[in-house]
Amino acid sequence: MIHTAVLKKEVLEYLDPKQKENFVDCTIGEGGHTEDILKRNGPEGKVLGIDLDPQQISASQWLEAIFKDRIVLVNDSYTNLTEIIERRNFGPVNGILLDLGMSSAQLAAAHKGFSFQIDQGLDMRYNDETGYLTAEKIVNDWPEEKIEEILKDYGEEKFAKKIAKNIVEHRKLGRIKSTFQLIEIIKDATPSAYWRGKIHYATRTFQALRIAVNDELENIKKVLPQAISILAPEGRLAVISFHSLEDRIIKNFLANESKKGIIKILTKKPITASRDELGKNPRARSAKLRVAVKL
């Protein structure tokens, strides 16, 4: 397995799977969290695992060999959660997990263009059959102000203005097509001190493009109300986010539902990774887990 699931112990503690209970893993990835759940909710409890990326569905098929018909895999977007559950007649649902963003396997995938360490086409779609917007379209066709805005908002990139301007300058000479081309443009737009920073100087631009291509913030807004409405009474919702904008959406949504008396928030402050986990998995450094229970 390439991907190391984050906050595994904490997710299991809060989801607290019991025999016969059913769970939905909206972002199954390589199945790290789902395996933990299936080890607890047998012999009858099931997990419905969803992923938008068909390759991630293939990467989680090893679960079928072990857990047989207790794992159901669906290649779809979690934004269609209600429909997926109804179509499969899956339930009652006692817990739902969302582990947002991208997995290490996707970062390493040769064709997606998520990584700034491999020279690839600028794609960044989780599913290249369903999405139409690509990172290439954004950098070549969007107006400078819109590029600057996503770099600022989704990437929290302090050199957003300079990078956006340089992208627009370069595309006058011909379409920007590859990750390495874009990286050179970012390098050229930023001061040399920035190239020696803790994180790679292209990290924030790449993150911003990925979020924009996949409409990740809107997706979260779409799935959260569905998740709450699907949960059975006493069902738990656990959401792991990696970005302050994602976390704000989740926090505000849960606060509102709690005010309405529909849920109770179990994590006053978001749970973050222990020092031990951070030592082993740097990807956990920005992970925040929020959990609520349906009343």
Ligand X SMILES: C[S@@+](CC[C@H](N)C(=O)[O-])C[C@H]1O[C@@H](n2cnc3c(N)ncnc32)[C@H](O)[C@@H]1O
Interacting residue ranges for ligand X, rule: CB under 6 A: 3, 5, 26-27, 29-33, 50-53, 56, 77-79, 99, 101-103, 126, 214, 219
**Cβ of residue 144: shortest distance to ligand X, in angstroms?**
28
Structure tokens at 73: 């895999």
Q: Which is nearer to ligand X, 31 or 155 (CB)?
A: 31
Q: Which is nearer to ligand X, 185 or 220 (CB)?
A: 220
Q: Which is nearer to ligand X, 48 or 168 (CB)?
A: 48
Question: Rounded distance, CA 185 to CA 169, Å?
Answer: 9
The residue whose Cβ lies closest to ligand X is 29
**Cβ of residue 85: shortest distance to ligand X, in angstroms?**
14
Q: Which is nearer to ligand X, 31 or 235 (CB)?
A: 31
Rounded to the nearest 10°, the torsion over CA 190, 142, 114, 224 is: 120
Written as one string, the DSSP assignment of 10-50 is HHHHHH---TT--EEETT-TTSHHHHHHHHHHTTT--EEEE
Question: Helix, strand, coil shares of the chain as percentages rounded to 5?
Answer: 50, 15, 35
Strand ranges (DSSP E) for 76-176? 93-99
**Cβ of residue 81: shortest distance to ligand X, in angstroms?**
9
Question: Rounded distance, CA 271 to CA 109, Å?
Answer: 30
Question: Rounded distance, CA 12 to CA 47, Å?
Answer: 14
Q: Which is nearer to ligand X, 94 or 219 (CB)?
A: 219
**Cβ of residue 160: shortest distance to ligand X, in angstroms?**
24
Q: Which is nearer to ligand X, 10 or 99 (CB)?
A: 99
**Cβ of residue 99: shortest distance to ligand X, in angstroms?**
4
**Cβ of residue 231: shortest distance to ligand X, in angstroms?**
18
Of 123, 11, 5, 17, the C-alpha closest to 56 is: 5
Of 126, 46, 98, the C-alpha closest to 135 is: 126
Residue type, 175: R
